[in-house]
Chains A and B, each alone.
Chain A
Amino acid sequence: MSTQLISERAAERTRSARARAVGLLGPLTMLGGVAWAFLQPYRITLLHPHGEGFWWLVVEPPLLVVAVGIVFALFVAPGLIEDLQED
C-alpha cells in the first residue's frame, strides 16, 4: 500500500470524525436542554402556566437550550458537514 494512499485514508478518517463531531453538537445541546427540563421541571412554566407572567412564560431556559440546538442542527451544521466532505 502506498504512503500516499495511507495518508489519504488518514485524512478521510479525520474528516469524517470532524463531520460526526459537528453533526453531534446540535443534538447534544438539545439533549442537554431536555435533561435539564427533567432535572428542574419547575423551570418549565408552561407545565403550570396558571398565574405566571408574560416573561416567565416566554423565557424558559431549558427550552431556550433546546432551541439553540435546533437552530444549530438545522441551519449551521448541514452546510458545514457538506463543505467538510468536499474538502
Chain B
Amino acid sequence: MEPPAEHVHWLFATGFLLLALCLLARAIVGAEVWDRRAWRAYLWPSLLFGLGILMWPVMVFFTNSTIHMVAHGAWAQTMMLAGAAELGLVRGKLHSRAWHLALPLALAVSGIAILVHEQNGWLFARAAFLHHVLGWTALVGAIFTLLGVLQPRRRIWATGLALTLVLISVFLYSDRDVAPIFGHLSERAGVPHR
C-alpha cells in the first residue's frame, strides 16, 4: 500500500507550497506582525520540522541505494534541526541569533546532497534533471537565507527564500518515475510511463 515515489514527491511539494505561502506572507507583513499571534509564530517552523520528520519514512521505504538513503537522511536531519532551532527561538529557549544559521545550513546540505547523490547527467531523464535543478535551487535558497540572517531588516531576502520554496514545490510537482525531459530520455532509464 506504499504510494509510488512520484506521489511522495507531490505530497512534499504540497507541504513546501504551504511553507512558501507562509514565508511569503511573513515577508510581506514583516516578522513583527506575523508573530503577533502565537500560533502563527510557531506555524512555519513546525511545518519545517514536520517535513523533516516525514522525510524519515521516505528514507526507510523509498531509497534503493546507500547514497540515496544517506541523502534523504541528511535532509531529514537538517530540516528538523532548522525547524527545531526556529521553534526554540520563537519559544525563547534559544537566544543567540546564530541559531538562525540552521536554515541556510539545511538548504546548503540539502542542495549538496541532492547534487551529489544524482549520478546521471541533466538530460538522462526527468528525475535526473529535477535533481540537478533542485540542488542548485536549494543552494541559491541557502544564499538568500544567509543574507537574510546577516541583514534581517531587508525583506528582499525573505521574499527570495519564499519564492525559492515555490520553485522547489513546482519542481517536485513535475517529478515522474520515468519520463523524458525536453524530449530526452536515456534508453538506460527504463520504459516511460505516465
User: Chain A interface (Cβ within 8 Å of chain B)?
Assistant: 18, 21-22, 25-26, 29, 42, 54-56, 59, 61, 64-65, 67-68, 71-72, 76-77, 79-80, 83-84, 87
Tell me the minimal C-beta distance from A44 to chain B in angstroms.
13
A55 near B3: Cβ-Cβ < 8 Å? yes
B34 near A80: Cβ-Cβ < 8 Å? yes
Could you say which interface size class chain B belongs to? 20 to 34
Complex contacts, B33 vs chain A, CB 8 Å: 80, 83-84, 87
Q: Helix, strand, loop or mixed for chain B's interface? A: helix
Contact for B17 among A29, A77, A80, CB less than 8 A: A29
A87 CA to B22 CA in the complex, in Å? 19
Question: Which B residue sits closest to A21, measured CB to CB?
Answer: B28
Tell me the minimal C-beta distance from A75 to chain B in angstroms.
10
A79/B13 contact (C-beta < 8 A), A42-B194, A55-B7, A72-B18 known: no
19 contacts between A and B (CB under 8 A): A18-B28, A22-B29, A25-B25, A29-B17, A29-B21, A61-B10, A61-B13, A64-B13, A64-B17, A67-B14, A71-B18, A76-B22, A76-B43, A79-B37, A80-B25, A80-B33, A80-B40, A83-B29, A84-B33
B191 in contact (CB, < 8 A): no
In chain B, residues 18-48, which have Cβ atoms closer than 8 Å to a Cβ of chain A?
Answer: 18, 21-22, 24-25, 28-29, 33-34, 36-37, 40, 43
Q: List 12 additional A-B contacts (Cβ < 8 Å) besides A25-B24, A65-B14.
A: A18-B28, A22-B25, A25-B25, A54-B1, A55-B7, A61-B14, A72-B21, A76-B22, A76-B43, A80-B25, A80-B33, A83-B33
Complex contacts, A76 vs chain B, CB 8 Å: 21-22, 25, 40, 43
Question: Which B residue sits closest to A26, measured CB to CB?
Answer: B21
Which 4 pairs across A and B sit closest by C-beta, in order of nearness? A55-B3, A59-B7, A64-B14, A83-B36
